Structure 1
Amino acid sequence: MDQAPGSPPESQGAQSVPSCYRHPDRETGITCTRCERPICPECMISASVGFQCPECVRTGSGTGHGPTANQPRTIAGGTIAADSFLVTKILIGINLAVFVLVSALGTRFVNETELVGYAYDRRLGEVVGLADGEWYRLFTSMFVHQEVAHLAFNMLALWFLGRMVEPALGRSRFLALYLVSGLGGDAVVYLLEYPGRGTIGASGAIFGLVGAFAVLARRSNLDMRPVIAIIALNLLITFSRPDSISWEAHVGGLVTGVLLALGLVYGPREHRRTVQAATFAAVLLVIVVTMVLRTMDLTG
């Protein structure tokens, strides 16, 4: 009996390792990050994250066939752009520009933009913070760095992770994951941190990219041991310096990034956009509910 390319021999059984779609006699645990067909080492072609099959590389399509062959898509369904790191560069540029403002305006600028739950500002003579209705601090605090070393470390991490995650997700999805991960980290800080303590930095959003990269690596069947080691090392550093590093932002951003990435890359292809939108909506809803309940606790 003839066997269709890509399907395993009948003797292998339902639970066996699949065979390469181009070489049915070769078992493989690697799949193309675009069309999801199994590919052997001879057929796999390195991509920004994982590997792609020869047909998807040749056509630039998500399936290698049909009218969408000239519309390249990422593993998450985003459009493949000529400059696949543009958003990463823009985010780094914004952080650098804000740092220039910090250098020029000093403490006054930081005090008005940092993440703080509920505090009395003696200079202004009034209560300030998220609990006082200044929710903009959730966003502004993600781009504020007061020290050169803090800025340099975060920007190096953003450049390294952005060059891997942005091409895999596409510009809009990458930006959304970055910002919402930052919000998730800030929400955890607001929930658990002392209400008068200020927090600044892009660490929550960057840890969201760490979580997204872990999901992408797992989705591409890469060796997870180095990824787990990197996450463990970063968490070890985080918890070893609790007085100077906001562990709440790091953990909150990491968890948020993982959840969002799961929705971005594991949704069924035919309902991918619906699943992605629902995932982001659910995470944002949790963030808003957390903010409202914490605010009621602080001001009640």
Structure 2
Amino acid sequence: MTERSGQANDATGGPVPTTPVCYRHPDRETYIRCTRCDRPICPQCMREASVGHQCPECVNEGRRSVRPARTAFGGGVAGREGYVTKTLIALNVLVMLLSLASAPNAGAVLFKGSTPLTDWGSVIGLARFADGTIGGVADGQWYRLVTAMFLHYGVVHLLLNMWGLWVLGRALEAVLGPLRFLALYLIAGLGGNVAVYLFSAPNQPSAGASTAIFGLFAAIFVIMRRLGRDTSAIVPILVINLIFTFTVPNISVAGHLGGLVTGALIALVLAYAPRLRRNLFQAAGGAILLVALLGLVLVRTAMLTG
């Protein structure tokens, strides 16, 4: 630390007062001192503080000692901006455009029907395609369990799911944080697609974000109960969606229920993990659930190929 304060002796031996200089710039005189460490600081080194000014070192030390803000479940407060929700919606819309572009006649499948892209990425257990080839999850095309949650059969199908994602996603992302919300969405969607693989006909294709959306329905119920908030408005909406699931043709019952159950399970892990080792328990719970889903896929594959 460089500081020329105090007194010096002149030629006659008498005291001569000197002016303090900035501890970082010895050529600059200053009478301002850091309110935290009392070092002299020049205007260039001043940092605004709640009271007075601080030097750069004290400001940096203060930042390191302040813990970043977290949600009630350990997530980052950046989730309040809904960036993950918006990105997922944009990704689904982009895939829809690519799907329409892949169709020879986009107008014919704009509101309903499959495209070459949905044929490639939908959940199919094991089937013979029009060109005579055999494919499906059981044939090693495991990517279908993930890609199917981003594909839709027409614009109406897409809009319904994106509306649900917009309403539920922003609320859950704000309370869970971006990373935990993304894990919830992907694991719930995967769980729904695994249920399709397990319980649907092997040659019956299925696609859509509704597996993940139903997981969000279950998760918001669990989260709100954990926070002690009223869930009376959620139950009727969930019941209505379940009624549609069982009554409207061409809806994957297995996918919706699988996403619902998986979403509830991962939400329980996120909501009730003990505070002291919350990150560890949440990560371990998610990993265990993924391993269980993997085991179910292996069992179903053995049944179809054995």
Secondary structure of the structure 2 residue equivalent to 1:81? helix
Cα drift, residue 159 of structure 1: 0.4
Match of 2:242 among 230, 235, 258: 235
Contact 1:78–1:169 under 8 Å retained in 2: yes
Q: Which has the larger radius of gyration?
A: 2
CA distance in 2, matches of 1:181, 1:151: 18
Q: Which amino acid in the other structure matches residue 210 of structure 1? A: F
- Aligned twin of 1:176: 183
Where structure 1 has 5 or more consecutive residues not aligned to the other structure, the ranges are 1-66
Corresponding residue number in structure 2 for 1:89: 86
Report the TM-score, using the length of structure 2 for normalisation. 0.73
Question: Residue 92 of structure 1 contacts residue 155 of structure 1 at CA under 8 Å; is this kept in 2?
Answer: yes
Using the size of structure 1 for normalisation, the TM-score is 0.75
Could you list the structure 1 runs, at least 4 aligned residues long, displaced by more than 4 angstroms after superposition: 67-70
Tell whether 2:290 aligns with 1:284. yes
The 1-side partners of 2:213 and 2:201 are apart by 23
CA pair 137-82 structure 1, distance change in 2 beyond 3 A: closer
**Is the 2:80–2:173 Cα contact (8 Å) retained in structure 1?**
no
CA RMSD, Structure 1 to Structure 2 (Å): 1.4
Deviation at 1:224, TM superposition (A): 2.5
Deviation at 1:234, TM superposition (A): 1.1
User: Which position in structure 2 is the counterpart of 1:259?
Assistant: 265
Read off the aligned partner of 1:217 and give its amino acid letter: M
SS at match of 2:123: coil
2:126–2:135 Cα contact (<8 Å) kept: yes
What one-letter code is carried by the residue in structure 2 that aligns with 1:81? A
Give the stretch that moved more between structures: 173-182 or 275-284.
275-284
Secondary structure at the residue paired with 2:134?
Answer: strand
Choose which of 69, 72, 77 in structure 1 pairs with 2:69: 72
Do 1:102 and 1:146's aligned partners in 2 also have CA atoms closer than 8 Å? no
Describe the SS at the equivalent of 2:138. Answer: helix
Confirm whether residue 114 of structure 1 aligns to residue 111 of structure 2: no
Using the aligned pairs only, state the percent identity: 44
User: Counterpart amino acid of 1:114?
Assistant: S
Contact 1:187 1:291 in 2 (8 A): yes
What pairs up with 1:171-250 in 2 under 5 angstroms?
Answer: 171-241=178-248, 243-250=249-256
Q: Partner of 1:47 in structure 2?
A: none
Amino acid aligned to 2:258 = G
Give the length in aligned residue pairs.
Answer: 232
Structure 2 match to 1:98: 95
Aligned AA (1:237) = F
Unaligned runs of 5+ in 2: 1-63, 104-114
Give the C-alpha shift of residue 229 in structure 1.
1.8
